[in-house]
Amino acid sequence: MSKLFPAYRVLAILVGVLLAFCSLVVAPARYLAPEGSALQQWGETWSILWAAHGWVFIIYVAVSFLLWRQTRWSFPFAMVVLISGLVPRFTREDVLASPLLARALDALAPRARSDAARQAIARGRAGQHTAPPAAVASSDPSTAAFLSGLADLAAVPAPVADPSARALARADLERAAQRFRDALRADADFLPAAVFLGACYALGGRDQEAAGAWQTALIGIDDDPRLFTLIVDARLRAGDAAGAEAVAAEAEKRWPADAALQQRRAVLELARGRVAEALSAIDALPQPPADLLFAALRILHGARAAGLVVEDPARDRARFERYAARYRELGGTDQALVNGWAATLK
């Protein structure tokens, strides 16, 4: 056994403990406790552990890579996940055009205390995300804050290259995030606000904080696989395959036939270097997407080029041919490259 394995095991445990503490203790204290309270300030202070988790995870990844090298898998399969773009980039539509929004508005409606608030909620259902009248803020602060946050989130411009425009977008996102924090502090039981707070973080590239907010939302919204999928993707974008694995495993027990979770299982196996398991997960997909097929083809070709096998040469070749045929049927954009790989396997 490699001498690195004990370090790998300790680091894996430490990464998991820090993730659990930050997600289940620090994040709820920071976002759900009353503003200015001792508990809220404690949560703010201990949020530094997210940074500690990030540094420990970097060391964990480095040790994992060295283990891969020692076991003769000479290329890091996690890079395939990144290069192939298998982890979706978060967009506003992931929440604003999702049943998660309808669910949030359904939960908000019984809390409305005025006709003006109810009318503002109705406009939100119709996709008209505008700030409610000022009178709503005094009578119904949670509703006003949430709907104002939606208006700010919907108004954030699409990603741009200009630095000044990016700075303005970040300011808009922070204003929206503050609205959702205000909604949570006005009504700590209105956990859908944490879903949209996480959306602000994810749009700003703060995926660890996004995952923390979404895991806080799970306290009250634990029956929707979409929320679990958002967390898995955020953890993967942040490079936290172990954290993504824990969330995915819980979701898979409850929704074993969910197509999005089945695809994430294949991506997770790739991200953690479990190549045979990843390919088996792809085999089990009724309709594997082109990007996932391309990642699998890249791995099979890379293994052959390195003089390695996943199962055995004949099975690897048959699997490559099957994936390549399906990739061509889907109109994959790199067919010429795949054809070149196929020629080397004959």
Per-residue pLDDT 10s for the chain (346 aa) are 445 556 766 777 787 788 778 878 888 888 777 878 888 888 888 888 877 877 777 676 666 655 555 544 444 444 444 434 678 889 889 999 999 999 999 999 998 888 888 998 999 899 889 888 888 888 888 999 999 999 999 988 765 444 454 555 778 899 999 999 999 999 999 999 999 999 999 998 899 999 999 999 999 999 999 999 999 999 988 878 889 999 999 999 999 999 999 999 998 888 777 888 989 999 999 999 998 998 888 888 877 776 778 888 889 999 999 999 999 999 988 888 888 888 877 6
Q: How many other β-carbons are positioned within 10 Å of the β-carbon of residue 76?
A: 15
Rg of the chain over CA atoms, in angstroms? Answer: 23
Rounded to 5 degrees, what angle do the CA atoms 103, 105, 111 make?
Answer: 120
In angstroms, the CA 299 to CA 340 distance is: 14
Match 């999005």 to its residue by tokens.
Answer: 260
Residue of 328, 84, 306 whose CA lies nearest to 320: 328
Q: What pLDDT sits at residue 168? A: 55
Do residues 120 and 147 lie in contact, with contact meaning Cβ atoms separated by under 8 Å? yes
pLDDT of 72 reads 45
Q: How far, in Å, CA of 230 to CA of 246, rounded? A: 13
Q: How far apart are CA 26 and CA 17, in angstroms?
A: 12
The predicted pLDDT at position 310 comes to 82
Which two three-digit tokens encode residue 223? 């029956």
Structure tokens at 254: 């409850």
How high is the pLDDT of residue 201?
A: 94
Please report the pLDDT score of residue 167 as a whole number. Answer: 57
Q: How far is CA 70 from CA 5, 56, 94, in A?
A: 11, 21, 40
Check the CA dihedral 10-237-26-28 and report its sign.
Answer: negative
What's the token pair of residue 301?
């070709």
C-alpha 324/C-alpha 332 separation (Å) is 9
Residue type at 332?
G
Token digits for 93?
A: 């539509």
Measure Cα distances from 204 to 22, 54, 200 in Å.
Answer: 20, 17, 6
Q: Determine the pLDDT at residue 58.
A: 64
- Per DSSP, 133 falls in state P
Residues 188, 283: Cα–Cα separation, whole Å: 44
Please state, as a whole number, how many other Cβ atoms lie within 10 Å of the Cβ of residue 157.
Answer: 10
Inter-CA distances, 270 with 29, 225, 293, 335, Å: 34, 21, 12, 22
- Give the helix ranges, DSSP H, for the chain: 4-21, 27-32, 38-46, 48-70, 77-83, 93-96, 99-108, 115-125, 134-139, 141-155, 163-186, 192-203, 207-217, 225-237, 241-254, 259-271, 275-284, 290-305, 313-329, 335-345
Give the per-residue pLDDT at 5: 55
